[in-house]
Amino acid sequence: MKPAPDVEKVRFDVRRGVVDRSSAELEINPFDLHALEAAVRIKESVGGIVTVISMAPSHAEPALRDALARGADRAILLSDRRFAGSDTLATSYTLASAIKKLGEFDLIICGEKSVDGDTGQVGPEVAEFLGIPHVSYVTEIKEVSNGFVTVASDFGVAYYLVRAELPALLSVTKEVNVPRKPKFKDLMKARKAEIEVWSADDLKDVLDLNRLGLEGSATRVVKAYYALEKGREGIKVKGDEGIRKIIDLLSSSGVI
Amino acid sequence: MSGEGVLVYAEYIEGMLHPVTYELIGKGRELISKLGGSVKAVIIGSGASGRAEELIHYGADEVYVYECSEGVALNTLLHKELLVSLIHEIKPKLVLYGATPWGRSLAPRVAAALRTGLTADCLDVYVTDDGSIVQVRPAFTGNIIAHIKTVTTPVMTTVRYKVFKPPKKAPSRNGKVIIREVPADGDIHHKEIEVLGKVREKEVNIADADVIVAGGKGLKRREDLKLLEELAELLGGVLAVSRPLVDAGWASKDRQVGFSGNVVKPRVYIACGISGSPQHLAGMKDSKVIIAVNIDPSASIAKYSDLFVVGDLYEVVPKLIEEIKRVRGKP
């Protein structure tokens, strides 16, 4: 799970081309809510334990509490200044290392992408670091049994039925389910629950400290700016003049 | 590994070559004028050898073909392994993939295996005067544009469909086709991952559409989508919707425009009763011409429109249909 700012509320520093981090609190990336719901449903039908892992600054703790209230059994926050500046490669490496430290697992589920980074790369990269198969853009989880998971996945022009051997990683779309709202009593319980915080030192047996954060990243942002709207004319018209203008524009575009 | 030239991954799924492939080859040709080297393409799949010449006609100098059986043709692990070994062998400076669902699933696996950087969903790639490659991509639902350099090799990029112009096909162009064997142990991945079959085709591929008429919350009833569909058909386009209509079960996700649906870039986008949430705008704001019909003059889509018709779509759209028919009917 990735704690991310709410894109409806977040404001941008237009001059510097960055996000104003104080404008919105971190919440669970909306795509990841569907991943969590999928995990909880699998637990409800076949049993098991749902562990949530996030790599984020320490103020992301409330997002992890929210995950506990929504049915996760355990929450681990990977938080350390040495993780800062990680690109998808360093993030995936760190997450995969933490998963190795956790020990055996059957299934990793993540959202198809995050609202802020929008890369969708961390899931498949984690799978590669762990040497397990993955299926991206999963729209339906059909079956989890006998050491396999069977899903429907969006390949672009069509949806395909794919079977992966466990352990496997799935990245799910919003179509996969409708996440439940947490119950009040579970929210209360989650307020008191423990969030385990792991630092880079906690992972030093399973990873190479030189492959973390900015130093371990393969990409660098050299320039960023706020995307101002293209100079659209935005002509406002009403009534029959509107119809005339549409016709003019359609014909100048070669559509009619 | 220093490397030279550009390698384009040709997306080939069940006999269909994704058109983004041609755009990537075209971009590759442009980039090698500064980067040096040649444009190579790689195509993997059942029947792949039949498409190699076509890739040359569009601008590839060399095409690596991995012909394989249908059973493993869509196995991501097999594609990954073939790409990793080819990249080790030919050492390209830059590898381009389409930012399609398939490309965005495969490319990160290759990147992690090679421990190199990958930049997602790019809108541009350019070479600076000192010869370094810069990738331009949107983040935060398109609000921030970032320019990114990769410090490892090769540089790997997934590029959005329809941002680069496809080159003209030149059937007289010559190039080299290199046929490669798929190693027999390609079958070992059969157990780890297996494509069992097609669930269904998409109802419509709106990313390919030239004209889109989209409906949003301004629609009162599901049946009213027919009105917009009539307009779309009249213009040779397709019907699309904003997310609330998909959530309400009025239309399939295949028709959804937006951050969690499809990113589209048609010649003309007509938004009817769509206010323009950031998520919707992220999916259509790069359309060539944007026309909005909305009863609320303060709707945020106004800033993103070339023409904003303030009015009730239930009055405007039928009149527009009538007028188009009248204009067309003229001799």
CB of B323 less than 8 A from some CB of A: yes
Rg (CA), chain B: 22
Residue numbers in A near B285 (CB within 8 A): 229-230
Is a pLDDT exceeding 60 seen at residue B2?
no
DSSP B291: E
Q: Do B198 and A175 touch (CB under 8 A)?
A: no
Residue numbers in B near A256 (CB within 8 A): 235, 324, 327-328
Number of separate domains in chain A: 1
Whole-angstrom CA distances from B267 to A183, A193, B188, B307 are: 47, 53, 45, 14
Mean pLDDT computed over B280-297:
96
Structure confidence by residue, pLDDT tens digits, A175-194: 999 999 999 999 999 999 99
Interface of A with B in 82-121 (CB under 8 A): 87-89, 92-93, 115-121
CB of B184 less than 8 A from some CB of A: no
CB of A24 less than 8 A from some CB of B: no
In this prediction, residue A131 carries a pLDDT of 97
CA gap B214, B208 in Å, rounded: 15
CB of B167 less than 8 A from some CB of A: no
- The overall average pLDDT reported for chain A is 95
Structure confidence by residue, pLDDT tens digits, A84-128: 999 999 999 999 999 999 999 999 999 999 999 999 999 999 999
ipTM summary value: 0.95
Give A193→chain B minimum CA distance, Å: 31
Mean pLDDT computed over B159-166:
95
Q: Do A121 and B138 touch (CB under 8 A)?
A: no
**CATH number of the domain bearing residue A81:** 3.40.50.620
Burial class (CB in 10 A: 0-12, 13-18, 19+), A45: exposed
β-strand pairing of A196-198 with A74-78:
parallel
CB of B258 less than 8 A from some CB of A: no
Among the partner residues A134, A157, A222, nearest to B148 by beta-carbon distance: A222
- Confidence band, pLDDT 50/70/90 cuts, at residue B1: very low
The identity of residue B33, as a single letter, is: S
In this prediction, residue A82 carries a pLDDT of 97
Q: Do B308 and A236 touch (CB under 8 A)?
A: yes
Domains defined for chain B, CATH in brackets: 6-192 (3.40.50.620), 206-329 (3.40.50.1220)
For chain B, the first-to-last Cα distance in angstroms comes to 65
Mean pLDDT computed over B246-254:
95
With beta carbons less than 8 A apart as the criterion, state whether B290 and B214 touch: no
Which residue of A lies nearest to B278 if distances are taken between CA atoms?
Answer: A8
Size of interface A-B (CB pairs under 8 A): 273
Q: Which domain holds residue A145?
A: 3-252
Mean pLDDT computed over A48-61:
96
Query: Best mutation site among A236, A237, A247 for testing chain B: the one with the most B CBs within 10 Å?
Result: A236
Residue numbers in A near B151 (CB within 8 A): 217-220
